[in-house]
Structure 1
Amino acid sequence: MQIGLILLALAYVLSQFFRAFLAVLAGPLEAELGIAPDVLATASGLWFLSFAAMQIPVGWALDTIGPRRTSGWLLLVGGAGGSALFALAQGPLYIHAAMLLIGIGCSPVLMASFYKFAREFNPTRFATLAAVMIGVGTVGNLISSFPMAFAAETIGWRNAMWGLAFVSGMVALGCLITVRDPDKPQGEAKGSLFDLLKMPALWVIFPIMFVNYAPIAGIRGLWIGPYLSDVFAMTTAQIGVATLVMSVAMILGTLAYGPLDRILGTRKWIVFGGNLITASATLALAFWIGASQTLAIALMVGIGFFGASFPVIIAHARSFFPPHLTGRGVTLMNLFGIGGVGVMQFASGRIHTASAGSDTAVPYVAIFGFFGVALLLGLAIYARSRDSTA
C-alpha cells in the first residue's frame, strides 16, 4: 500500500466526518447561536452542492495535473480554512460559508484515490478497492457520532473545530508530500466530458446515482439527530450512540458490497436489490415513525447497511468509461451522487419547515417518505441499464 493512498484514506475519513457531524451539533448550535434544524439542513445541502459543483473541475485536474496537487491544495485551503471559519461562527452565515468551503476542500479526496485505482490496478479489482477505501473512510462517520458529541460536551464545539482545522491542514500537507501521480501513457487520446455525456449506457445509471446516497447522507448526516430528539426525546449522548451504530452498519455494508460483483457475476442486480431493500426500510421508517426508538434505530441501521452500494454503482459506470477519461468519468458520477444529496437535503429542509406543526412526528414522515419514493423512482429507470462486470 502506497503511503500516499494511506494519506488519501485519512483525507477521506475527514470528508466522511464533515458530511455527518452536524447531526450531533444540532443541539449545541441551537442553544448557543439559535440555529434551527432547517438552517442546518441548508448548511448540509451547501456542503454537498459545493462538493458536487467541484467535481467537473476536479475531474479535469485529475486528468491534467494529477491527484497530488488536486487533493492536497484543495483540502488545505477548503478543509482547514472552512473548519477555522466554523470555529469562529457567530450565526447562520458563518456556518453556511464554512460548510461551502469544507465541501470544496473535501471534493477531490475520494476521486483522487479512485483515479489511482483505475489507472494503477487491475480493473476487476476496482469495486473491491473502492469499497475498502469507502469503508475505511466511513470511520469518519464513527468519529462524527459519539466522539464528536463527547468533545462538544467536554471541550466545546468551537475547540473541537479548531482541532479539526489543524488535523485537516496536516493531512493536506501529507498528501502534497506523499501522493504519487500515475504515469500518463504516451500519445493518450484526447476527450472531454461531453464524450461521456453522449454515452446512452450512462444515462440510465445517473438517476440511481442521484438518489442512492441521499437517504444515508440525509438521515445519518442530519435528520437522525432532530428526529430522535423531537420524537423520542433522546439526549445528545444517546443520539451519539445511535449515530455510532448506524455508522458501523454503513462500514459493514460498504465492505460487504465490495467483492459481490466478482462473487455473483453481476453489478446491476446487486445495486438493484440492495437499493430496493433500502427504499423499503426508509418507507417503513416513515410508516412506523413513532412506534419505538428501538425499531427506528434498527431501520436506520438497515438503511445504512443496504444503502452502501455507492462503490458498485461507480464500478458499473466505470466499466463504460474510455481509459483517457477516467478522471472525468469518476468525478461525473460523483457529481450526480453528491449533487443528489445536496438537492434532496435542501428539499428536506423545506419539507421540514412546510410540515411543522403540533405533531412533531409529521415532518419526519414527510422527509423519510420523500427519500423512499425518490429511491424507488431511481430504481425504475436503473432497471433499464445494461449489466457489466468488465
Structure 2
Amino acid sequence: MQAGLIVLCLAYVLSQFFRAFLAVLSGVLEQEIGAAPDDLAFASGMWFLSFAVMQLPVGWALDHLGPRRSASVLLLLGGGGGAALFALATSPLHVSLAMFLIGIGCSPVLMASYYIFARQYPPRRFATLAALMLGVGSVGNLVASYPTALAVDLFGWRGTLAGLAAISTAVAVGIFLTVSDPEPPEDPQKGSVLDLLKMPVMWAIFPLMLVAYAPSGALRGLWSGPYLTDVYGLSTQQVGLATLVMGAAMIAGTFVYGPLDRVLGTRKWVILIGNLLGCASLGGLILVTGGPVWMPVAMMAAVGFFGATFPVIMAHGRAFVPPHLAGRGVTLLNLFGIGGVGIMQFATGRIHETLTGAEPSLPYTGIFAFFLVFLGAGCAIYLLSHDSMD
C-alpha cells in the first residue's frame, strides 16, 4: 500500500499542476492561438467543472470498484488523452475541451488516497494524512510556475504538453500496478449520497467548502498571470517566479494547518480564523494594487497560505460520515470544494470581460472583491457549524 500511495501522490502532483499551469501559459497561448484571459478562465472553469461533476460517480466507484481501477482508468483516458489534445490545440475551444478531459482524469486521484486513509487508518490521523498528501502533491503547483516557463522556452508549449501526456499515461499504469484496494467492510450497509445530504450537520460546512479554496485556486490557477502581465507588465518567466512564491505559500499553509486540529483541540476555530485571515489578505490585495510589485505578490502568497484549510474542512465533515459511505462522503465534500472554483472561474471571466477598459487594474479589483464577498459569506454561515474531533 505504501508504494501505491507514493504513486497516487505522483498522480496528485499532476492534478495540482494541471489546475495551475494556465497562469504561466496565458501570454504564449494568447499570442499563438488567440486565447484571451476570458477564454482561459472558461477553460480553467471547465477543468474544475468536470472534476466536480465526476465526484459523485467517483464516490460510487471507490465504494464499489476500489481506488485501483477508478484512479488508473480515468487518469489514463482523461489525463493522458486530454494533455495530448491540448498539445494539438489550434483554438481556445480545443484548450477548453482538453481541460475538460484532464479534469475528468484528475478527479479520482486525491479522493482515492483519502478513501484509503478513511478505511485503513485511525480517524484521528485523517486530517494530518490528508494534509500530508495535499502538501507533498502540491509540488505540482511549484512545477506549474517557473519550471514550466523554462520548459516552454526550451521545448515550446506543445512539446511540454506532449511530455505531460506521456507522464500521465505512465503514472496511470503505475497506479494500476501498485495500488491495493482496501478490504470491503465486514458488515456492508446500503446507502447513497442522499443519506449524506439529509444530515443537517453537513449543511453548515458545505457553503464554506464551496468558497474556501476558490480564491487561492483561481488566483494561482489563472488570474495571477494576466493580473501581473496587464497591470505590471511582467514577462512569462517573471510571472513564473511570482506564482512560485504563491505556490510555496500554499504548500507551507497546508503543512501548518495539518496538525493544528490535534494541537489546539478544535477544527471549527482553526478553519474559521484561517479563512477570516484569508478575507483580510484579499482586502490587502485590493488595497496594494498599483503599488510596488512585491506587495501584490506578498498578498497573493498570504491568500494562498491562509486559504489552505481544505484538508481540515475535509476532516471536519468526514467525522460525521458513516464508514460505509466513506468514499461518497469525501467525494461529496470535494465536489463542493472543487465545484466552487469552477463556478467562480466562470463568474470571474464575465467580470473581467465586463470591466475591461482604460484602467488595467479595474477588472482584477472586481475579481478580488468578488472572492472577498463570497468567502466572508461562507465564514458567516460556518459559524453555525458543530465542531468535530475524533
Provide TM-score, normalisation by structure 2.
0.99
Partners of 1:140 and 1:112 lie apart in 2 by 18
Matched with 1:247 is 247
Determine whether 1:381 maps to 2:384: no
Determine whether 1:56 maps to 2:88: no
User: Structure 2: which amino acid aligns with 1:259?
Assistant: P
* Cα displacement (A) at 1:288: 2.4
1:132-157 CA distance string (max 9 Å, x none): 00001100000000000111111100
Matched with 1:34 is 34
Task: State the SS of the aligned residue for 1:376.
Answer: helix
Task: State the SS of the aligned residue for 2:358.
Answer: coil
- 1:154-173 maps to which residues of 2 (within 5 A)? 154-173=154-173
Task: State the SS of the aligned residue for 2:328.
Answer: helix
User: Structure 1: which amino acid aligns with 2:121?
Assistant: F
Task: State the SS of the aligned residue for 2:57.
Answer: helix
Matched with 1:23 is 23
* Cα displacement (A) at 1:187: 2.4
Matched with 2:355 is 355
Q: Which runs of 4+ in 1 moved over 6 A?
A: none
Runs of at least 5 residues in structure 1 that lack an aligned partner in the other structure = none
* Cα displacement (A) at 1:286: 1.5
1:246-297 CA distance string (max 9 Å, x none): 1111111000000000000000000000000001111221222212211101
Partners of 2:215 and 2:87 lie apart in 1 by 28
Partners of 1:193 and 1:307 lie apart in 2 by 27
Matched with 2:195 is 195
User: Structure 2: which amino acid aligns with 1:97?
Assistant: L
Partners of 1:34 and 1:43 lie apart in 2 by 13
- 1:292-307 maps to which residues of 2 (within 5 A)? 292-307=292-307
* Equivalenced residues, count: 390
Matched with 1:214 is 214
Task: State the SS of the aligned residue for 1:155.
Answer: helix
Determine whether 1:148 maps to 2:125: no
Task: State the SS of the aligned residue for 1:77.
Answer: helix
Partners of 1:116 and 1:203 lie apart in 2 by 25
1:44-71 CA distance string (max 9 Å, x none): 0000000000000000000000000000
1:201-226 CA distance string (max 9 Å, x none): 10000000000010011100001001
1:295-320 CA distance string (max 9 Å, x none): 10110111111110000000000000
* Cα displacement (A) at 1:168: 0.2
- 1:1-390 maps to which residues of 2 (within 5 A)? 2-390=2-390
1:23-47 CA distance string (max 9 Å, x none): 0000110110111000000000000
Partners of 2:242 and 2:93 lie apart in 1 by 29
1:149-178 CA distance string (max 9 Å, x none): 111111100000000000000000000111
Partners of 1:216 and 1:284 lie apart in 2 by 14
Provide TM-score, normalisation by structure 1.
0.99
Partners of 2:366 and 2:152 lie apart in 1 by 30
Counterpart contact for 2:185–2:324, Cα < 8 Å: no
User: Structure 2: which amino acid aligns with 1:50?
Assistant: S
Q: Percent identity?
A: 61
Partners of 1:238 and 1:59 lie apart in 2 by 40
